Structure 1
Amino acid sequence: MSAKQAPTGAPGAPIGILGGTFDPVHNGHLRLAMELATELKLAQVRLIPNGRPPHREQPGATPGQRAKWIRVATADEPLLALDDRELLRRGHSYTVDTLASLRTDFPDRPLCLIMGRDVFAKLPSWHRWEALFEHAHIVLIERPGLHAELAPEARELLAERGVDDIRALHEHLAGAIYSYAPPPLAISASRIRALIATGASPRYLLPEVILEDIMDTDIYRAPAQSAE
């Protein structure tokens, strides 16, 4: 699926942007994307795997593997799509550059950058973070029991730009912050990798077809200990 494939949802509706390492993509990512597409009336949510994320360690799976898993997982769902533009870009993957690229592709569509409160809390440390609002809204995911302390700049942003009606996401191209609390679904890529590394089963935490591919390649298995 091309990074530039057009959304298949309602004409003019916002496009959701969900970035991450997706190492691997799992049912928590996919269900969140579907919840947002439905509840916020988005035309599409584009899952964008990071190329070289500057704020975290490099993924264990290759770019090709991570793109393949998202492509397979979203193949039968028109509201979700792989966007591989960061994997094709050289150098670090800065969100502001990704949003600028998406704005070029979709000049007349609102864009909604999806992020957790823990990520938003560190937003002022991002590269050219103020420019994010020139290109997109932010959809802030609030999870029960996770209340990250916000930097003063982030608190001010939330106070100034916060909205409580999704119409603001549809009527303007960028600039708002909308908070959304999805139904709880406690699944993480780190837990899946840990289960596989110890020989335990992560079944039902991610699509079966992706689990089969992971097990075939032994990508997350712990290296065998040599006998002394």
Structure 2
Amino acid sequence: MYIWIVAADLLSDEEHPMQLNELSAATGVSTASIKFYLREGLLPRGDEIHPTRAEYGPRHTERLELITGLRSVVGLRIDQIRSLIGLIDDPAVTRLELLGRTQAMVLGAPPQTLPDLPLVRELLDAYSWPDVPTDARAVLNGTLREMEAMGLSVSADVVLGYARAADQVAKQDLGVVFDEKSRDRTVLAVAVGVRAYGKLLLSLVALAQASRSIQRLGGEEST
């Protein structure tokens, strides 16, 4: 998950103050973009040392890491990033709520919560997952309903099989997230993880389907 933020891990050790051009060079973000993020309130103001000059430090490199990752990797809009940053900077928002809101933003949670499908209830019972309303649960309900509307039959065995693999991934993934002290890094890890692991799962399913198809149908052309 941290492939996108290794460089920023190195930057976080920089304790000496930087001016705007140095911040740009250290992060790879143009000075024009940095100024835009400052105007939009996405990036905190630097420490003013002169009416036309300010100094920046690790909190700025970390915030730029977050903004860049959410824009370029996850594909969020500026207004969505502003919303998440507002939650990050609000001490009243717990880390659990922050994780849930980040997932909802990346997944595109439905505006209203629909009643659980029987399959979702079966899934919760099978893995002893807490029976609490979450955006992720609403997204799953919505996805299953969309599949049904398209005429795709979804069996309990298939969903439970997917869930078994997803549960193992979640345990490993969240182990890293929970070790993260920074709220900026936590949000970035969750957002990138949801996007990256979703793509990884789709790629693995496609490879498995292709491989099984070759095993079953590969000899047909020669007959």
**TM-score, length-scaled by structure 1:** 0.22
Q: Between Structure 1 and Structure 2, which shows a larger proportion of helix residues? A: 2
Bigger fraction of residues in strand: 1
TM norm structure 2? 0.22
